């Protein structure tokens, strides 16, 4: 019974922890808004976004109406509801983003995380054969008769070459047996 209780407690903790971190999946070259899920009111002193790269690299700091871009290598804006807006994301943008809300005295600061997964960029490769066949209006299927005649011609040449080879081998054997000295 104790094991079941322990198992249930572990599952509850896992469920609570896994739900506190949002996950967003997008395709390459799409725009994305990462929402700060722990943000629930306009009463805060500062809102800071970080991208987790081993260490923390600051993205945007907002204090009241001031918006300031810091050490983030790509353009980013503040979106609706203080979400982090990234345009035309690439797989390099994948990772964990952290939103920290700093509030006034007497209140608890909040922190939440969002995992961003950007799928690999794919470049369409043109199918040259399909493009060529579709662009040419003169391509027609070969009649079955031409196919059969082609196979018969190739087969006949093989049989003819095989017969010539056999005759040459026999002639060589007969010729070499005539020149063998007899004791």
CATH of the domain at 42: 2.60.40.10
Inside any domain, residue 95: yes
Top pLDDT among 49 and 4 is at 49
Number of domains in the chain: 2
CB 23 within 8 A of CB 80: no
State which of 68, 102, 118 marks the end of a domain. 118
Percent of the chain with pLDDT over 90: 17
pLDDT in tens, 11-40: 554 444 444 568 889 999 999 988 887 766
Residue 12 domain-assigned (yes or no): no
- How many angstroms separate the CA atoms of 152 and 143, rounded? 15
How confident is the model at residue 110, as a pLDDT?
Answer: 87
In terms of phi and psi (left: phi > 0; alpha: psi -120 to 50; beta: otherwise), the region of 173 is alpha
**Cα separation, 68 vs 160, whole angstroms:** 86
Q: Which pLDDT does position 131 carry in this prediction?
A: 46
* Domain hosting residue 106, numbered range: 17-118
Same domain, 22 and 108: yes
pLDDT band at 115 (very low <50, low <70, confident <90, very high): very high
What confidence score (pLDDT) does residue 51 get? 83
Do 90 and 152 lie in one domain? The reply is no
Q: Within a domain: residue 10?
A: no
pLDDT of residue 168: 92
Q: Which residue is associated with the tokens 């799928």?
A: 119
Instruction: Check if the beta carbon of residue 34 is closer than 8 Å to that of residue 116.
Output: yes
DSSP structural state of residue 50: E
Burial class (CB in 10 A: 0-12, 13-18, 19+), 47: buried
The DSSP bridge pattern shows strands 66-69 and 76-78 to be unpaired
- Distance from C-alpha of 22 to C-alpha of 38, rounded to nearest angstrom: 11
Residue 129 domain-assigned? Answer: no
In contact, 63 and 126? CB cutoff 8 Å: no
- 4 within some domain: no
pTM: 0.52
Q: What is the 3-state secondary structure (H, E, C) of 136-174?
A: CCCCCCCCHHHHHHHHHHHHHHHHHHHHHHHHHHHHHHH
Interatomic CA distance for residues 80 and 83, integer angstroms: 6
């Amino acid at each position: 019974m104790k094991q079941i209780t322990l198992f249930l407690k572990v599952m509850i903790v896992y469920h609570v922890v896994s739900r506190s971190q949002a996950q967003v999946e997008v395709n390459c070259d799409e725009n994305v808004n990462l929402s700060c899920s722990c943000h629930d009111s306009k009463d805060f002193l500062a809102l800071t976004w970080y991208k987790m790269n081993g260490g923390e690299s600051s993205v945007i700091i907002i204090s009241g109406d001031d918006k300031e871009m810091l050490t983030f290598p790509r353009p980013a804006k503040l979106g609706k509801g203080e979400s982090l807006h990234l345009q035309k994301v690439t797989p390099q943008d994948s990772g964990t983003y952290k939103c920290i809300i700093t509030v006034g005295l007497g209140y608890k600061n909040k922190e939440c995380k969002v995992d961003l997964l950007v799928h690999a960029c794919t470049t369409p490769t043109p199918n040259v054969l399909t493009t060529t066949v579709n662009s040419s209006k003169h391509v027609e299927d070969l009649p079955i008769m031409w196919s059969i005649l082609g196979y018969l011609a190739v087969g006949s040449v093989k049989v003819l070459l095989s017969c010539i080879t056999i005759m040459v081998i026999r002639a060589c054997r007969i010729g070499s047996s005539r020149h063998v000295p007899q004791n």
